[in-house]
Amino acid sequence: MPRVFEQDGFLFFFYSNDHHPIHVHVRYGDGEAVFIIADEVTLRESVGLKVKELSKAEKLASDNKSLIVQKWNEHIG
């Protein structure tokens, strides 16, 4: 499970055998979400996260979009 980054309790990561399109998984507490990383960061799915937590995760993903793409290319290709 390649870690991309962790901030404010949110863990951003990929699975080693992940697939396109570029996306990132986010865990916070007992919840998890997946965001598609393209021109815009888009929520694909979430389980167990509150609206406020999802908003924070989306902002962190948007703020770190270039890092996510860089790490994706390093780990997934």
Q: Each residue of 38-70: pLDDT tens digit?
A: 999 999 999 999 999 999 999 999 999 999 999
Q: How many CB atoms lie within 10 A of CB 63?
A: 12
Strands (E), the chain: 3-7, 10-13, 23-28, 31-37, 41-47
What is the C-alpha separation between 23 and 28, in angstroms, rounded?
17
Q: How confident is the model at residue 76 (pLDDT cuts 50, 70, 90)?
A: confident
Look up the domain containing 35 and give its range. Answer: 3-72
Domain assignment present for residue 55? The answer is yes
What is the C-alpha separation between 72 and 18, in angstroms, rounded?
9
Domain assignment present for residue 77? The answer is no
Task: State how many domains the chain has.
Answer: 1
Q: Within a 13 Å sphere around the CA of 69, how many CA atoms are in the beta-carbon half?
A: 10
The whole-model pTM stands at: 0.94
